[in-house]
Amino acid sequence: MSKQPRILLTGFTPFGNEDINPSWEAVRELEGRHIAGHVVVARLLPTIFAESRRELGLMVDEVAPAILLGVGQAGGRSRLSLERVAINVQDARMADNAGVQPIDEAIVADGPAAYFSSLPIKAMLKALLAEGVPAEVSNTAGTFVCNHVAYLMLHLAARHHDLRAGFIHIPYLPSQAARFPNAPSMAQEDVVRGLIIALQVAATQRTDDRFGAGALD
């Protein structure tokens, strides 16, 4: 592998009744891309609680990234959602792809209640909006496998001071949204462009910008 610092960028397998997962469709386009002196390593995670944990650990050991960014599908959202926080709970309203449905279980038994993103999410937001990419700061990554992986990424980053981590949720692709009345979507090329912009900021800025981007509800 290149001696350049690496970005480990992950997407997920399809889940529910979907045949594709837009996170992996976008993430795999960036495999080998050079962004701000870093090289992107794209990897696919299973939408399975236990296996995603095992696979993530193996990937981090193999790649030794400087930046770890997870990407996941959030059907119903209309923007790239830069997740501020991941919480230490698994509370699945549906089973994962292995048929497992944890309810009110901790991700890490002795872990903190939550972790905040260690990426400059407001600077990333500012850059995305400046380039016309719909984006927002999100204060919930849910309680399914996306939050599970986001929490584990930040748990790893808390123990490796040379690693920074975060998570972004993305909307449906138009082909997925067409099955649901009035469901928002985003074209894959816009998602890819947004991920590049976000990673450029993450790779070059450690101190976040400070401006209001919270939510009233």
146 catalytically annotated: yes
| 62 part of the active site | no
Please name the residue ranges forming H helices in 12-48: 22-27
Alpha helices in 64-205 (DSSP H): 121-130, 145-159, 174-177, 188-204
Q: Which of 146, 155, 161, 189 is catalytic?
A: 146
34, 38, 83, 189: the active-site residue: 83
- Longest C-alpha distance within the chain, in Å? 48
CB 53 within 8 A of CB 101: no
Q: Give yes or no: 18 in active site.
A: no
Token pair 């050079």 in the structure block, residue: 34
Our CA dihedral for 47, 166, 131, 208, rounded to 10 degrees, sits at 170
Which residue among 25, 38, 169, 189 is the active-site one? 169
Residue type, 67: I
Which residues are marked as active site? 83, 146, 169
